[in-house]
Amino acid sequence: MNPLLSMEDVSLSFKAKRVLDHLAFQVERGECFGFLGPSGAGKTTTIKLLTRQLVKDSGRITLFGRPIEHASNADYERIGILSDTSALYERMSIEDNLRFYAKIRGVTGNNLPTLLERMNLADDRKTLIKNCSKGMRQRAALLAALVHGPELLFLDEPTSGLDPAARAEVHKMLRELNDAGTTVFLTTHDMAEAEDLCRRVGILDEGRLVACDAPEALRLRFAKNEVLMRLADGRVVRTSKDAAGAPAVAGALASGGCLSIHSVEPNLEEVFLELTGREF
């Protein structure tokens, strides 16, 4: 089956600066794909290429199984986008903004009460955007990307500025959308968010894809050759998780004094730092 979108050997430069360098990946239909990287790595530029806000220098991009150059207006009606440039009209209320976007997208907006309720914005629906907090704006912008029920959703830092409760609600909604078949392309600085939501993640560094796999597979790839055991006498014993460490593990288990035992794997944040050597 053809991927929903793909990049093959894509490069892009702004004057003398190479922003994307032979980038290649694909996203399958119904997948939640995380696109991670330090600030300035090229994540937003990639979304702009995939949504034809920018044009590549070289390589091949496909969208809905066709070269992106042949994508139609109807194809882009199947897409929802939340980015740092998503516009909400300051002098209009949350609800009026959403009804405006529903009209642009050619849908009735009958789902707006449900969407507003899900994002805890029903009581604030008449609030003007200029009077909204950053978190309220972010939630309203996400709903504007969802009013037409898109098949493919591009989310650039969707939980930026949200409190933990609102972030959890966004995560719940994204899982439900993904479970129902919506393909999600997610950029985030929150490694826990990527690990929680994404089937696979690609890690971008200086315009190059340095890793692309399931979060668990990446953690196992960078796991240490180490087992940690906590014993009843209070000691913590570390040994290798190979034949050399087997006697220590067997002895601890045979003594009956082993309270816990586990191998040592990094979390996704530690993998990210290992691959890029940089903070987010």
What are the pLDDT digits (tens) for 243-272? 888 888 888 888 888 889 888 778 888 888
Chain segment 134-174, per-residue pLDDT in tens: 889 989 999 999 999 999 999 998 888 788 888 888 899 89
d(CA 86, CA 153): 13
In a domain, 96, yes or no: yes
Q: Are residues 71 and 23 in the same domain?
A: yes
Q: What is the pLDDT of residue 99?
A: 96
Confidence of residue 8 (pLDDT cuts 50, 70, 90): very high
d(CA 138, CA 148): 18
Residue 279 has pLDDT above 70, yes or no: no
What's the mean pLDDT when you consider all of the chain? 90
Strand 208-213 relative to strand 236-239, pairing: unpaired
Q: What is the mean pLDDT of residues 191-213?
A: 93
Are 207 and 241 a contacting pair, CB within 8 Å?
no
Q: What is the pLDDT of residue 280?
A: 46
Q: Output the pTM of the full model.
A: 0.85
Q: Which of 164, 197, 218 is the last residue of a domain?
A: 218
Chain segment 219-242, per-residue pLDDT in tens: 888 888 788 889 988 888 888 888
Distance of CA 212 to the CA centre of its chain: 13
Q: What is the mean pLDDT of residues 87-97?
A: 94
DSSP 52-108: TSS--SEEEEEETTEEGGG--HHHHTTEEEE-TT----TTSBHHHHHHHHHHHTT--
**159-163 long-range contacts, CB within 8 A, separation 24+:** 159/188, 159/190, 159/193, 161/134, 161/135, 161/137, 162/135, 162/138, 163/135
d(CA 202, CA 6): 13
Q: Are residues 169 and 213 in the same domain?
A: yes
In a domain, 278, yes or no: no
CATH number at residue 153: 3.40.50.300
What is the tally of structural domains in the chain? 2
Q: What is the pLDDT of residue 228?
A: 85
Q: Are residues 46 and 74 in the same domain?
A: yes
Q: What is the pLDDT of residue 278?
A: 61
Which string of b and e fits 136-165 if b means at least 16 CB within 10 Å? bbbbbbbbbbbbbebbbbbbbbbbeebeee
Residue 273 CB burial class (10 angstroms; 0-12, 13-18, ≥19): middle
Q: Are residues 39 and 62 in the same domain?
A: yes
Q: Are residues 82 and 209 in the same domain?
A: yes
Q: Which domain holds residue 104?
A: 5-218
Q: What is the mean pLDDT of residues 91-107?
A: 95
Q: What is the pLDDT of residue 102?
A: 95
Q: Strand ranges (DSSP E) for the chain?
A: 5-14, 17-27, 32-36, 58-63, 66-67, 79-82, 152-156, 183-187, 200-205, 208-213, 227-231, 236-239, 258-263
Residue 130 has pLDDT above 90, yes or no: yes
d(CA 103, CA 225): 57
